[in-house]
Amino acid sequence: MTPAVRDQIRREVDLIERFSQYYHRRLATLIDDMNHARAAGGDRECLRLCVEAVGMILSSQNHLCRTLKRLGSDQRPISRAA
């Protein structure tokens, strides 16, 4: 694996981690509010946040897939000695 590909994978993984931590915190707060009936209009905000989170997940997965494909195309086949 080339250093550039390794760095790109690390950046994508870091980005996915930040997205997941952020949305987990936000959704946990909304769910807690909804469970305790403190959220006026929380259903709409929760739906928007869920749609945003799914969009971010799909975007992150797309970037990671492109990086992994690039990694796969950078590998040379192993030649077998006769």
Write out pLDDT tens, residues 14-73.
888 888 888 888 888 877 877 777 655 667 777 888 888 888 888 888 888 888 787 777
How does 5-37 read in b/e, with b if 16+ C-beta sit within 10 Å? beebbeebeeebeebeeebeebeeebeeeeeee
How high is the pLDDT of residue 39?
A: 54
Residue 80 within a domain: no
Residue 29 within a domain: yes
Q: How many structural domains are present in the chain? A: 1
Residue 81 within a domain: no
Residue 32 within a domain: yes
Residue 78 within a domain: no
Is the whole model's pTM more than 0.85, yes or no?
A: no
Residue 64 within a domain: yes
Domain of residue 34: give its range: 3-73
pLDDT surpassing 60 at residue 76? no
Residue 36 within a domain: yes
Write out pLDDT tens, residues 1-16.
678 878 888 888 888 8
Confidence at 75, pLDDT banded by 50, 70, 90: low
